[in-house]
Structure 1
Amino acid sequence: MFVFTRILGKKQISQLTFFEYVTGIAIGDLAGVVSTDLDSHYSYGLIAMFIWFIVPLVLEMLTLKSKTLRHWFEGTGTMLVKDGKILEDNLKKERYTADELLEQLRTKSVFKVADVEFAMLETSGELSVLLKSEHQPLTPKHIGLKLVTEKPAQAVIMDGVIQDEPLATAGKSRGWLHSELDKIGVTKENVFLGQVDTYGVLMVDLYDDKLKVPKPSQKLILLATLKKCEADLDLFSLTTRHPEAQQMYTTCSEQMRQVIKELETTLRS
């Protein structure tokens, strides 16, 4: 069963479609019969399991190339809410009650149907919800704020042991790691988990939860350095007597001010 499931893929253990649901039940039931029925020859059960493995695998290959087959075996989503109004006919079609719909909306942190642009019941049984524009959360893009692209944090220490591969992926060395641990006054043996984030900052979780680790200050130091550079450029533009140099310093100061505006939210977080 483990081999069959690995080959059939992650879909077989995620939100199942109708066909995948039936397949999983059939293979599991056959495996139970093979394991407990001592009167029957086990080869018959294995053949049946193999058939229930081959048929879904072949159909999955076919559905990758045919939208009609995908609709036939996997079904299609059903719109339950549109423009803040519940589609009662579709609710009846899916045998969905108003209570069940409200429950599903609450799991998405939606408490008013009128706030919903549309809600779609997917073939997996999951309810997808899109809020109306005025009710969607504010994002940095809405206010024209550019953020640095986040990268996955690398677990460089796990259970008190340094992980060399994630450390290399983060572009750091063991010497740097020991230096950072010395700054916060802990040893690697006392670190349950240590991660390096996008900005190269080490964050640690200690075995002893009573110990308080000082917050990393590199980003604040960088912000202060950028502001000092801006102030220096303003000072140079005021003290120089050369018009071209004054213009250059003023332009650089404006560019630095723009950089600070774009990065300040990130560096303060």
Structure 2
Amino acid sequence: MPEWLEIALRTLLAVVVLFLMTKLLGKRQVTELSLFEYITGITIGSLAAYVSLELDTNWYLGLVSIAVWVGVSLVMEFLQLKSKTARDILDGKATVLIKDGKIMEDNLKKERLTTDELMEQLRKKSVFKAADVEFAVIEPSGDLNVLLTKENQPLTPKHLGIKVAPEQEPQAVIMDGEIMDEPLATIGLNREWLDTELEKLGVAIENVFLGQVDSYGQLYVDLFDDQIKVPEPQKKAALLATLKKCEADLEMFGLSTKEQKTKRMYEQCSIALEKVIDEVKPLLIR
């Protein structure tokens, strides 16, 4: 067999083996590498290159070495899942860098971080003053997590005492101009409904790059042509406006009648509808 063909076949074999081994090790091997996993990744890559190019020795020995490294990695991951002590030894512990707005200089030196590097990490979190930080910790992965002081935390509906409806995952029902039947079925809709919504927007299915349906059944589309503006769905706003109009009409009817019994009935209905509006308003103003 020609050498170039043998190298090509070995390289394809190495690619397949690397893919299978990576799938076996899991996504964490790619997203959050510990020190040992980083070393494992480099070593397995070097062994794959050996399998591809080394013609003078038994190439299958490289596969044996890769299998051993992967086996050791799986054992390490099993130990980390079962033992907190093993996790602390292999991954390390989180280190507090800022507490009550004060920088912990000793911990900073322990992690071999300079003040400039700390400030850079804070700026990545949109924090420009260390005094604004209540608590900051560097994780074993190297990420810096920050808790701002109460007065510097973003305002949320909970702070204002406003109830907000839960949001479910939007479903992509159109991709690249093609209807996705499975997501449609997941939210209990069909193609007829989708055709009706597209007709309301004045959009043809083949012009839609991406179409998503939120948890309230509203369709949002992004077109291939970015110059065309598509109006956003107004179902919730229209419903809220209708409810408020009904409340106003009931108040007006109550003021316009002279019959006391009828007046009280309108007033009671208006108060009841006002309570309903207060309850559903968080669902309709998102």
Among 119, 128, 135, the residue aligned to 2:136: 119
**How far is the alpha carbon of 1:99 from its aligned partner?**
0.5
Q: Which amino acid aligns with 1:256?
A: V
CA distance in 2, matches of 1:164, 1:47: 45
Q: Which residue of 1 aligns with 2:4?
A: none
Q: CA deviation at 1:265?
A: 3.2
Letter in 1 for 2:199: D
186, 191, 195: which one pairs with 2:212?
195
Question: Partners in 2 of 1:97 and 1:217 — Cα distance?
Answer: 52
Indicate the larger mover: 254-263 or 196-205.
254-263
Which whole-Å CA distance do the structure 2 matches of 1:201 and 1:228 have between them?
23
Deviation at 1:35, TM superposition (A): 1.2
Contact preservation (8 Å) 1:234, 1:253 = no
Deviation digits for residues 96-147 of structure 1, max 9, x if unmatched? 0001000011111010000011111110011111111110000000001111
In the other structure, the counterpart of 1:220 is 237
| Structure 2 equivalent of residue 45 of structure 1 | 62
Q: 2:272 aligns to what?
A: 252
Aligned residue among 165, 168, 193 for 1:151: 168
Aligned to 1:174: 191
Q: How many residues align?
A: 266
Amino acid aligned to 1:72? I
1:78 aligned partner:
95
Deviation at 1:256, TM superposition (A): 2.4
The superposition leaves residues 208-232 of structure 1 with CA deviations (integer Å, 9 ceiling, x where unpaired) of 2222212222122111112123224
SS at 1:13 equivalent:
helix
Go from structure 1 to structure 2 and tell me whether the alpha carbon gap of 1:214 and 1:84 turns closer, same or farther (over 3 Å shift): same
Identical residues among aligned pairs (%): 57
Taking only aligned residues, the RMSD between alpha carbons, in angstroms, comes to: 1.9
Of stretches 212-221 and 110-119 in structure 1, the one that deviates more from structure 2 is 212-221
Where do 5+ consecutive residues of structure 1 fail to align? none
Specify the code of the residue in structure 2 equivalent to 1:241. Answer: Q
Q: TM-score, normalised by structure 1?
A: 0.92
Structure 2 match to 1:13: 30
Alpha-carbon distance between aligned partners in 2 of 1:264 and 1:215, rounded to the nearest angstrom:
14
Aligned mates of 1:261, 1:203 — CA distance in 2: 21
Structure 2 residues not aligned, in runs of 5+: 1-17
User: Secondary structure of the residue that 2:82 maps to in structure 1?
Assistant: coil
Are the aligned partners of 1:23 and 1:52 in contact in 2 as well (CA < 8 Å)? Answer: yes
Q: Secondary structure at the match of 2:159?
A: helix
Matching residue of 2:116? 99
2:96 is paired with a residue whose SS is strand
For residue 61 of structure 2, what is the amino acid of its counterpart?
A: Y
Q: Is the 8 A contact 1:226 1:260 kept in 2?
A: no
Contact 1:233 1:253 in 2 (8 A): no
Residue 236 of structure 1: CA displacement?
5.8
Give the alignment's TM-score, normalised by structure 2. Answer: 0.87
SS, match of residue 238 in structure 2: helix
Q: Give the CA deviation at 1:158.
A: 0.9
Q: Is the 8 A contact 2:247 2:270 kept in 1?
A: no
1:262 equivalenced with 2:279 (yes/no): no
Matched to 2:56, the amino acid is D
Q: CA deviation at 1:19?
A: 1.4
